[in-house]
Structures are given as C-alpha cells and as structure tokens.
Structure 1
Amino acid sequence: MKTGKAPFLGKIHKTEIMTPDGKLRYVEQLAFPIRTNKGYRIGYVTRDVTQRKQIEEALEKRIVALSRPLDNGEEIGFHELFNLKEIQEIQDLFAEATGVASIITQPDGTPITQPSKFHRLCKDIIRKTEIGRANCFKSDAIIGKHHPEGPIIRPCLSSGLWDAGASITVGGKHIANWLIGQVRNEAQNEDEMRDYAREIGVDEEEYIEAFREVPVMSKSHLEHIARSLFAFANQLSAMAYQNVQQARFITERENAEQNLEKSIHEKEIINQVVMQLVKETNTNNIYSIIGRSVKKLLPDSYVIISKLEHDGNNIHIIESFGLEKYLEKLESILKIDLYKMKFPLDEMNEEDLKINRTGTLTEAKNGIYNLTNQKIPLPICKTLEKLLHIGKVYTVGFSGDGENFGALTIVLINDSHLEHKKTIETIAYQASIALQRSIVEKTIKESLKEKKFF
C-alpha cells in the first residue's frame, strides 16, 4: 500500500470465525492504515460480538413468537412470555408465605418451574415411579384446567393429598397451570395409602412414614390460600396478555416501517429502547432508558422525567437531560433543589390529567408556569425561560389502566420545532407497558412477602 487508502479501510466488517475447538464466533473487524518507514501496513481491531448477536437473535425469535395470532394452532410458550427466574422467585415466595407446595406446569401437567416446598412423599417416592409420575401429571392437568369461575380444589389423583390449581391464560388461551397443595386432612387414611404404595411398587413402610410427614391443613384454610392463588394467576394472565400486545405492537410497527420512509436514527433508537425494556423490571432504569433515548432524538432540547411517588399523591422530577450545567443556578433561583420539588396530583386540573393518559405528546400552554401547576410564580418562570432559552414545552404521560406513572417533558430551545413526534409517542407507549409490568411484578412480590396466612 503506497497511499494508505483503500475502500475497506475505516469501515466495520462483520464476519464469522471458527475457533480451534469448533465453536462459531461472530466478530467485527476494523481495518486501518499504519504508516512506517517502509510504506503503509494494515492494522486490525477485532471485537467478539457473539453474545450481542445471540441476544439480538433471541429477542427477534421472542418477538416473532409473541406476534403470532393466538388462534393459529401454534403454541406460545410460557417461557416466551415471562422471565422464568422472576417467576420462580414469585412461586418460591408464595410457597414460603403459605406453607403449601407449589409448581407451575404446562396445561398437560409437564413441569415448567422447579418445585417449591415439595414433600418427600411426592418428590422422592411417588414421582420417582413411572405410574406415580404419570398420575401426578394427569392430576395436575385436571386441577389446573381453565376454570375462570375460580380455583379448582380436589384430592390429587396420585397421592390422594389435597391440591388446588388455577390456570394462566393469554387472550383466553390456556398456557399454564399454577398448582399448590400437598397437604392432608381427615379425608385420607393409611389403608388407602398402603394400597397405592403397592400399586406404584414402592415400600409401604417408607411410603407411610413420608405420608405422616405431610402437614395437616383444613380444607377451609386451603380454600383461602387457593383464592389468593387464583388472584395471582389472574395477574400473571394479565401480564402475559400485555407482553403479547407489546410484541404485536413491535411487529406491526416493523411491518409499517417497511412501507414508510423512516430515518435510520429513529429505527436505531426504537430498537434500542425495545431491547432494553423487554426484560427490564426496575422502574428507575425504565425512566432513565426513556430519558436518554429521547435526548438522543432531540439533542438540543431539555428532557425531564417525572415519577409518581409511592403515596400516589405527588409527582416529582427524578431525572433531567441537558440541564446539568444549570442545576446550581436553578436551585439559587427556585430556593429549592429541583429534584425535591413535589407537584400534588389533586392540584392538577382534570383536563391535564386526561391529557397525561392519552399517550399523545401535547404542547403545554404558557410553558413551565402551567406545567408546574402554577406552583412557581410567573415572574420566576419568565426568568427561567430567559436563562434556559426556553421555547415550546411538550409533555406526554406514562399511564396504564387509567393510572398515571409519571410523565416525559420536552423543553425546546428558542424557536425550534418538535421533531420525531410519533417516535417519541411510541417510546412513551413502550415505557408505559414496561412500567405497568414492573409495578404488577413488584406488587405481587411485596404482597407475598407481607401476607400472613397463619
């Protein structure tokens, strides 16, 4: 190379390589010229992107799976709808809080999760035999069948112990059973237990010893726990439906984008947001993702994220993007830290509350004066607008099922015009879904930790 110039230099090239142990890896390479006293040589920077590639492929597969019509005959897997690690934690908490065994299975009784608090009789004796295991799966399928009227409570077809179950559905389609139980009461007797031990071919004395270890629980107490189970299963069903809706929304948007001219920048931002939100459960992280993403779209604006406090009565600012160098000056003018200011919901007029629930990016008339519920005196608002060169102000709320979770506020500079309106509304919509899902999961976990059944 005499000139140090070539078409392939300075560009990222994607390729696949095979490692000595036979594994396929995905890499990106950047070639660049190196000047020496003997002319130019070529240097390479190589980056292994296998993990990123695998994550992208898994996400694409998940979105495709969730966007299938529910009635096309193809099954949507439970694992495609939920993070199994999170579900296992919820199941374990439920079992610990109630003192019953618990497991989530396919509609046919095949286990999805690991058993929680399973007793030796079921885990180490009955299910270790072919006949016993088959009877367990059959019983689980019956007890967990779709029954929207309430939980099914009945003796297990295998052990005779009392069990209960509730179905988990998505759009009316039965996708899983949440089963609890493995408790006994006066309905069982040891003669029947010995008969079944002989039927499945296990030692009678060991069977009876394990049976006596099973906790005693009244039927009314089990019914009480089963009703709570039914409520949690319905919550999971609602979450599953939201996940499907979210995936379908993504797919519909991708199909529409094929027929429309969209900027590469918008596509990249939306894809990044979707990839980050799909399994994000921390609400603060969700708010940060949205703020950073909108700031990328509108680098010359101020982006402010507000959040509804736990008391459900006040909104406060949790993050801002673009205001960093003004924060000290703002505190001096406002006489309070921007992030410590509270804006009571009951001081907002009904029209503003409705606007926050529409998902539409709406201009705030009279700028920050009305946006702050007139809590900041008008002269101070005018001073702030002059200091920050504030032009038009827009806001869109994060909401779901009629509840407000917070809002995204965009403050434009001087006479600039709002761009990427539909894309920002899409991002806010995705945030609302992610926030609602996160709040539901948190509520379930907290209720399980605090609920006392005994």
Structure 2
Amino acid sequence: MNIRDFMDLQKMQEVQDEFSNATGLAAIAIDNDGQYLTEGSNFTDFCMKYTRGSLEGNKRCIKCDSECSGTYFCHAGLMDFSIDLMINDKKLGSIIGGQVLPKEPDEEEFRAVARELNIDPDAYIQALNKVPRSTEAKIRASADLLGLIMNQLINLEYVKAKTVGKLDELSAEIKNATDLIETINNNTHSLQSIANKQKMLSLNASIEAARSGEAGVGFAVVAKSMGDLSSQSATIYGDIDNSVAQITKSINHLSSLFEEERQ
C-alpha cells in the first residue's frame, strides 16, 4: 500500500503549509522508501544549508533521522520531530520536521558546534538567529497536533477511496444483474408466446376431435392435456414476470442509493 494510491498530495501539502505558517515549525512528508510526498515547509538555512550542508553535520543529521522518533532534541541543539503515518497498524510513511529552538541559544555553544562541523561560526550564528523560537511544551504539542491531523486526513482519504472502489464494483454488478433480468424477460415473453400458440393448437385440436366423433376421443384427451399445460405455463410465466418486476424495482432502488452516495 502506498499513500500515493489514494491520497490527494496537494491537500496534504496545504495542511502542512498552514501548520508551518501557524507554528513556525518546518515539516515535510516522506513515504517508507524515503521519497518525498510533499515539498518542505519553513525549512531553515541553519539546518539545510549549513548543518546538513557539511559532511559531518549531514552524517549526524542522518543518524538522528534514522534513530529518533516522536519529538526530540537533534545533535545541533534544535528540536525536531518524526511522526509515523499509519493506516490501521501499517506504517505508510512519516511527517518529519521541527528545526525550532526551545529557548534562547548560547552562541558560544553553537560556535563550538560550527567548528566541529567545519562551518564558518559567524555565518552559522547569523543563520541561527533566523531560527524560530518557541517553548518545548508548545513544540511537542504542535508536533502531536500535526501528526493527529495528518493521520486523520490520510485515513479519511483511504476510507473514501475504498468506498468509491466498492461502489464501482457494486455498480458493475448491478448492471450485470440488470442485463440478466432483461434476458430473462425476453425469454419469458418468448415462452409466453409459445404457450399462447399451444393454447390455440389445443383449441383447434379439440374442435377437430369433436368433429371426428368416437374416432377422435383419444385425440381429444391429448388436446385437453395440451390446453391444461398451456394454462399452467402461462400462470408460471406470469409469476416469473411479477418476480422479475420486483427484483428490477429493488435493483433500481439500490442503483439510485449508490448514485447518491457518489455525490
């Protein structure tokens, strides 16, 4: 199962962008293969250009990405998050981000980090000063809220996609049933026509038997039997017609309900 199979990624992007604009937290969604589902929102130069842009910094960031989950402090001193995107018990990807300072930074500590990562300390501090600030409690609550919203969104879209698929299958089956009923109707009408002809033949045979006197007695018995069978057949075909009419009415009702469900 892949999120792309049922999810409107543009809708996902819009929710993510609104979240980032409201909270200042960076965010991006990825699938289980690490492929991006959305474009990054509110990413900082501090993280993307400088920290991940250095060989050692990128190595440390990858380690954080692979080992950390929930809301956590990254190696560079910022708060990040990684929240699983789930359908039932199956993980389909993650929403990750953060890049927020939970308190005012100690510049000397970050200058030390810059030197460890072989980054110009002044440029690093300049980028650091543009990083959004918040409290740890707000960062954790915001990340949890985004995870809740995104998971509700993908589950809703998944159920919607499954429902539409089932409606398509049921609609196809209704059409098949309607076609079969039409075939039954045509065959029944043909049999009714045959039964009517049998009835006429039986009547003609009875008349001829009466004209033949005693010699036609046996023929009269056969003619009467043919008439009885014809009458019974007509009754049966009438019952079939009524049953088919009721089934057709039920199927048409189901079809109208499915059309309403689609809209």
- Structure 1 length normalisation: TM-score? 0.37
Distance in 1, matches of 2:27 and 2:7, equals: 18
The residue type equivalent to 2:148 in the other structure is A
Distance 1:177 1:91 in 2: 12
Q: Which residue of 1 aligns with 2:64?
A: 139
Counterpart of 1:124 in structure 2 is: 49
Are residue 429 (structure 1) and residue 253 (structure 2) matched?
A: no
Secondary structure of the equivalent of 2:52? helix
1:128 deviation in Å? 3.0
Q: Once the 2 structures are TM-superposed, how far is the Cα of residue 130 of structure 1 from its aligned partner? A: 4.9
Tell me, in whole angstroms, the C-alpha distance in 2 between the residues paired with 1:107 and 1:131: 25
Instruction: Give the one of 147, 165, 168 matched to 1:230.
Output: 147
Contact 1:121 1:211 in 2 (8 A): yes
Q: Distance in 2 between matches of 1:131 and 1:101?
A: 22
Q: Is the 8 A contact 1:102 1:178 kept in 2?
A: yes
In structure 2, relative to structure 1, the CA distance for the partners of 1:105 and 1:211 (3 Å cut) is same
| 1:425 match: secondary structure | helix
**How many residues matched?**
196
Tell me the alpha carbon deviations over residues 230-258 of structure 1, each in whole angstroms, 9 at most, x when there is no partner.
Answer: 3313312422431452365257548x749
CA distance in 2, matches of 1:124, 1:141: 20
Output the TM-score relative to the length of structure 2: 0.60
Q: Deviations over 1:415-438 (max 9, x none)?
A: x9576233223333344xxxxxxx
Distance 1:417 1:423, change over 3 A: closer
Q: Whole-Å Cα distance in 2 between the matches of residues 140 and 262 of structure 1?
A: 56
Q: 1:209 aligns with which of 126, 137, 147?
A: 126
Measured in 1, the distance between the counterparts of 2:17 and 2:100 equals 17
User: Equivalent of 2:2, from 77, 89, 108?
Assistant: 77
CA 128–427 in structure 1, closer or farther in 2 if over 3 Å, else same? farther
- Spell out the pairing of 1:148-167 with structure 2 (5 A cutoff): 152-157=70-75, 159-167=76-84
Give 3-state SS (helix, strand or coil) of 2:96's partner: strand
Paired with 1:120 and 1:197, the residues of 2 have a C-alpha distance of 14
1:403-442 equivalences under 5 Å are 420-431=252-263
Q: Which amino acid aligns with 1:242?
A: V
SS in 2 for 1:112: coil
Provide, for residues 202-239 of structure 1, a one-character-per-residue CA deviation record: whole Å limited to 9, x for no partner: 32321222112212211122123233223313312422
Distance 1:160 1:427, change over 3 A: farther
- Name the CA shift for 1:259/1:91 in 2 (closer, same or farther; >3 Å): same
Separation in structure 1 between the aligned mates of residue 17 and residue 41 of structure 2, nearest angstrom? 6
CA distance in 1, matches of 2:164, 2:249: 31
Pairing of 1:306-321 with structure 2 (within 5 A): none
RMSD, matched Cα? 3.5
The structure number with the bigger radius of gyration is: 2
> Aligned AA for 1:126?
T
Q: Which residue of 1 aligns with 2:12?
A: 87
Aligned partner of 1:423: which letter?
S
What amino acid is the match of 2:10? K
Unpaired segments ≥5 residues, structure 1: 1-75, 145-151, 264-415, 432-454
Counterpart of 1:220 (choices 133, 137, 152) is 137
Distance 1:129-1:429 versus aligned 2 partners, 3 A rule? farther
The share of aligned pairs that are identical, in percent, is 26
1:103 aligns to 2:28 (yes or no): yes
SS in 2 for 1:216: coil
CA apart distance, 1:122? 1.4
CA distance in 2, matches of 1:143, 1:247: 37
1-structure distance, mates of 2:60, 2:33: 11
In 2, the alpha carbon distance for the partners of 1:189 and 1:203 equals 17
Q: Deviations over 1:58-80 (max 9, x none)?
A: xxxxxxxxxxxxxxxxxx22222
Task: Return the offset for 1:83.
Answer: 1.6
**Structure 1 Cα separation of the partners of residues 31 and 67 of structure 2:** 11
- Alignment-mate amino acid for residue 178 of structure 1: I
Higher relative contact order (Cα pairs below 8 Å, separated by 6+ residues) = 2
Judge conservation of contact 2:85–2:150 (CA < 8 Å) in 1.
Answer: yes
Give a deviation string over 1:78-100, Cα, whole Å, max 9, x none. 22222222211111111111222
Quick check: 1:183 aligned with 2:100? yes
Asked if structure 2 preserves the Cα contact closer than 8 Å seen for 1:108 and 1:137, the reply is no
